[in-house]
Amino acid sequence: MVIDLHTHSRHSDGTDTPGELVAAAAAAGVRVVALTDHDAATGWDEADRAGREHGVTVVPGIELSCRWRGVSVHLLGYLFDPQDVALLAETGRARRHRVTRIEQMAQALADAGWPVSVAQVHAQAGAGATLGRPHLADALVAAGVYPDREAAFADVLHGNSRFYVGHYAPDVVAAVAMLRAAGGVPVMAHPFAAARGTVVGDDAIEAMVRAGLLGLEVDHRDHDAAAVARGERLCDRWGLLRTGASDYHGRGKPNRLGERTTDPAVLTELVAAGTGSPLLGAPLPSPG
């Protein structure tokens, strides 16, 4: 049974609708897929319908952009209550500030002579989607400045670029506790992906574990062998669930559905720990 617990749709910076994503999962032989849009749970209903149609179980999820002492950390959350007031307040705040910050970046680029406008960036994103640098990248690609998102990220969209503007992101320890309070299962996304920037130390993992962290996304394409070994060691040390996933973004990244997977026994534990929402889509196959 192929299980992929990290994907993005047009509700954030993926290029597939949730329905297209679930259909693509079925076509790729993925039996269980988690929809984990950045700071948004708005794609769950469509993924649920598509899952029933295509025989795919959908784990409802999210990827929260957080911080640990100024370092960017991504936190996956599964099976939480999507109506939880505290979580909705945090994701709403993040999403609103993401709009302001992308508009600031787009305007600064336009002022410096790049062929891009705030309106063109909005036109790249789905209505109500969580806005991110990938949508600004898509506008620059559409204008012929770069061949793909990757090239835009290597240049003007890089975190070290003079055009870079940060956005509000909650403290990751508080976010772990908030997800647990909403019945969710917090799993740290690609924890040791050095190419993405500074990687946190073991003290951050310990603080998150004490707040209720339940898993680490050990198997991810951005992890080299040393990162995987470090993740395995920390899972053993703290009794954390070891997950694996593709971080699929449709045409936005080379990542393919099912390229990294999670063990069925880990999924069973994850589902048992999540009490805020049921599984969506098709029912899980009965064991044996």
For residue 63, the minimal CB distance to Fe ion (Å) is 5
Degrees, nearest 5: CA angle 16-17-21: 60
Among 4, 13, 46, 219, binds ligand AMP (CB under 6 A): 13
138: partner contacted, choices Zn ion, Fe ion, ligand AMP, none (Cβ within 5-8 A by kind): none
37 touches Fe ion by CB under 5 A? no
Name the residue nearer to ligand AMP (CB basis): 107 or 275: 107
Q: Which of residues 175-204 bind ligand AMP (CB under 6 A)?
A: none
Closest CA to 163 of 94, 120, 110, 98: 110
Among 32, 137, 189, 266, binds Fe ion (CB under 5 A): 189
* Residue spans of alpha helices (H) in 171-263: 172-181, 202-211, 225-238
Site for ligand AMP (CB under 6 A): how many residues? 12
Task: Return the bridge partners of 58, or none.
Answer: 33, 280
Among 104, 108, 110, 153, binds ligand AMP (CB under 6 A): 153
Q: Which of 54, 67, 95, 133 binds ligand AMP (CB under 6 A)?
A: 133
Helix axes 85-111, 133-142, angle to 10 degrees: 30
In the complex, minimum distance from the CB of residue 6 to Zn ion, in angstroms, rounded to a whole number: 6
Nearer to Fe ion, 65 or 120 (CB): 65
Residues 92 and 251: their CA atoms lie apart, in Å, by 26
Give the CA count within 13 Å in the CB-facing half-sphere of 244. Answer: 19
Name the residue whose CB lies closest to Zn ion. Answer: 247
- Sort strands 71-78 and 185-188 into parallel, antiparallel or unpaired: antiparallel
90 binds Zn ion (CB under 5 A): no
Q: Which of residues 27-46 bind ligand AMP (CB under 6 A)?
A: 38
Contact map string, positions 191 to 230, toward Zn ion, x by CB under 5 A: ----------------------------------------
Give least dist CB 102 to ligand AMP, A.
7
Q: Of 62, 67, 54, which is closest to residue 26 (Cα–Cα)?
A: 54
Question: What letters, b where the CB count within 10 A reaches 16 and e where it falls short, cover 129-154?
Answer: bbbbbbbbbbbbbeeebbebbeebbe
Q: Which of 249, 250, 262, 282 binds ligand AMP (CB under 6 A)?
A: 249
- Could you give the CA distance from residue 7 to residue 3 in angstroms, rounded to a whole number? 11
Distance CA 257, CA 4 (A): 7
150 is a site residue for ligand AMP (CB under 6 A) = yes
Question: Which residues of this protein are in contact with ligand AMP, per CB under 6 A?
Answer: 13, 38, 65, 132-134, 149-150, 153, 249, 252-253
Question: Which residues of this protein are in contact with Zn ion, per CB under 5 A?
Answer: 63, 247
